[in-house]
Amino acid sequence: MPLGSTEQHGPHLPLGADWIEADGLAKVVTSRADVITTQIIPVGLSEHHMDFPGTLTVTREHYKNFIMDISECLIRWGAKRFVFLSEHGGNLDALSEIALTLRTKYGVLSAIPQWWEIVPEFNNQPTMQHGGYAEIAFVASIRPDLVKYERAQLPPPKELTKTIRAELDYFKFKGMTVRTYLRTKDVSAIGSMSEQLHEFKEADLKSATHDVGRNLLQSLADSIIEFIGEFNKLAPLEPAR
């Protein structure tokens, strides 16, 4: 089940970056693996991006109920395993709750691969960046016409004080990581952001081309297909009593 979001990714990527990535990756996986794939679900949980024009979001409960309803339809038709191919980190908590419900109620297992966790680094650049080098390449591999390289920017983590550096869900203070929750505008004036716990690396964003992105897309597809093959070998589970 490919899942994305409709939200800003800086001035250089389309609002649909996440769902374009999920849809494109799902199509490659589907062409090579024995899976049934749903249509792309293009809107997710993006309240933290709503300060930027064009962003769409839904409530957490509505999202959970919607995905759960679709999942239960598929279970009625015989589905035994789910791979929630979500390319938006904001969906994760809700999907984790859905996965627990499916396991408890039906004995159905779910997996939630996130592309930046499958390939944490690409061409010596961290992939956990919002509108960064790897994501530009990813979108370019599918819709190069929607990448505006002349506008590409990735600001470093924002310094709130001399000793506190902020990202979307944490503060960095003298080597410590302290969890928080901020809105995107709190850490980035343009929307793109590094979203990383490690040191910020400058990158040539214009070099994140279609051809570079195809290598990333194929690497992700290879890993997911290999995982699905093993995932399907897991023994059936009973619902909770």
Strands 164-167 and 158-159: antiparallel
* Cα angle: 230, vertex 237, 35; to 5 degrees: 40
pLDDT of 157 higher than 80:
no
pLDDT > 70: what percent of the chain?
A: 97
pLDDT of residue 134: 96
pLDDT of residue 227: 97
pLDDT grade, residue 202 (50/70/90)?
confident
CB 219 within 8 A of CB 119: yes
Per-residue pLDDT tens digits for 25-68:
999 999 999 999 999 999 999 999 999 999 999 999 999 999 99
pLDDT of residue 196: 60
Distance, CA of 7 to CA of 193 (rounded, Å)? 13
pTM of structure: 0.93
Query: Which of these ranges, 35-39, 72-76, 138-142, 175-179, has the smallest mean pLDDT?
Result: 175-179
Per-residue pLDDT tens digits for 56-100:
999 999 999 999 999 999 999 999 999 999 999 999 999 999 999
Distance, CA of 206 to CA of 6 (rounded, Å)? 23
Q: Class assignment of domain 2-231?
A: alpha beta
